[in-house]
Structure 1
Amino acid sequence: MSDAVSLDLVDPGSAEAREAVAAYLLELDQRFEEGFDPSEAAGDEEKFGGDHGVFLVAILDGKVVGCGGLTTIGEGVAEIKRMWVAKDARGRGLAGRIRRRLEELAVELGHDVVRLDTNRALTNAIEMYRAAGYADIERYNDNPYADFWFEKRLTS
């Protein structure tokens, strides 16, 4: 396996995006104590498409190995969702690359704040977000699977 990973902007309804999200949802269902209902992702194609969002997939040796979505949730505020890296591609800094690219895209879309939520089972993600300057904030959404809510102020 080479180390040349591309981060590609794709239509959230594309085969690559659907493959990545399906793998992400399966992993959440396995890792979350209470499982995960895949219907929570039902609006993704609309949320991450059009003028208010973007969707990235990470490709390594022709295989989808990660993803992340960005959507507008308020004036100047974006939300990162569906951050995932395949188990066999972890340890390469790929999650950080996806996060940084989504932050850059948020700035390009005119946002100065990015938020996200995560579940207590995703300890590596929690550590990564805090190390990247995300601050714990009060609950800002009704995600039934979230235990932590974070926010980061972006600079252009």
Structure 2
Amino acid sequence: MTDQHEVVIVRRPGQGPPADRLAELLAAYHLRTQAEKGEAVADADALPDRYRTEISDPRAAFADDTVLMALSGGTAVGCLVLTAPADGHSEIKRLWTDPAFRSRGIASGLIGAALAHAAENGVGTVRLSVWKWRTSAIALYERLGFTTAESWETRDQLLCMERAV
């Protein structure tokens, strides 16, 4: 049985294991996404360049963005990237919860922290894109007040959603 520590959301993790764990969480996210798209790869080294760059140096890749991490007992168990505000909106990117820690409200907590951060920084709208086959994620976003929006994505199978802050 997994020990259920209190989950804490932190902004821009410091040096040490949480930062290392961020790279692991990003790798898991990208590997799962590639597999779901029918383009499975053996490991993170086989991912497209843009994803390998995020994994190898997330601090540089998201230098202008806000990185939130969910910690349980000092271990990073979830992450979310919120882009820097532009034209009155920010975008949620890379929301991921370690599968062993799902169904504990971690994703909701990360989204809530992202919305609060956006509001504190004068953002009017938070938007996101989600693969259409991720029905449980879409249901979560809808529960949290996101609605379908006109697509800004060129990639097929992405649903765009937004929510006023």
So what's the TM-score if we normalise by structure 1?
0.83
- What is the correspondence of 1:66-105 to structure 2 with a 5 Å cutoff? 66-72=78-84, 74-105=86-117
Residue number in structure 2 paired with 1:20: 25
Residue of structure 1 aligned with 2:34, choices 13, 23, 29: 29
Please say if 1:39 is aligned against 2:49: yes
Q: One-letter code of the match for 1:8? A: V
How far 1:149 moved relative to its partner? Answer: 0.1
Q: One-letter code of the match for 2:158? A: D
Q: One-letter code of the match for 1:49? A: A
CA contact (8 A) 1:12 1:54 kept: no
User: How far, CA to CA, are the matches of 1:141 and 1:22 in structure 2?
Assistant: 23
So what's the TM-score if we normalise by structure 2?
0.79
CA contact (8 A) 1:48 1:55 kept: yes
Q: Compared with structure 1, are the counterparts of its residues 109 and 47 closer, same or farther at alpha carbon in structure 2 (3 Å cutoff)?
A: farther
User: How far, CA to CA, are the matches of 2:37 and 2:98 in structure 1?
Assistant: 16
Identity of aligned residues (%): 26
CA contact (8 A) 2:85 2:123 kept: no
How far 1:73 moved relative to its partner? Answer: 5.4
User: How far, CA to CA, are the matches of 1:120 and 1:84 in structure 2?
Assistant: 16
Q: CA RMSD in A?
A: 2.4
Q: One-letter code of the match for 1:28? A: T
Please say if 1:148 is aligned against 2:162: no
User: How far, CA to CA, are the matches of 1:57 and 1:29 in structure 2?
Assistant: 22
Q: Deviations over 1:24-58 (max 9, x none)?
A: 112212333345854343466446324xx200111
Higher helix content, 1 or 2? 2
Q: Deviations over 1:74-132 (max 9, x none)?
A: 22110000001111101111111111101111112220100100102211111111121
> Rg: which structure is higher?
2
Q: Compared with structure 1, are the counterparts of its residues 4 and 12 closer, same or farther at alpha carbon in structure 2 (3 Å cutoff)?
A: closer
30-39 vs 126-135, which moves further? 30-39
Q: Compared with structure 1, are the counterparts of its residues 100 and 45 closer, same or farther at alpha carbon in structure 2 (3 Å cutoff)?
A: same
User: How far, CA to CA, are the matches of 2:141 and 2:11 in structure 1?
Assistant: 22
User: How far, CA to CA, are the matches of 2:110 and 2:149 in structure 1?
Assistant: 22
CA contact (8 A) 2:129 2:160 kept: yes
Give the length in aligned residue pairs.
151
Structure 2 unaligned blocks of 5 or more = 42-46
CA contact (8 A) 2:97 2:107 kept: yes
User: How far, CA to CA, are the matches of 2:63 and 2:40 in structure 1?
Assistant: 27
CA contact (8 A) 1:12 1:18 kept: no
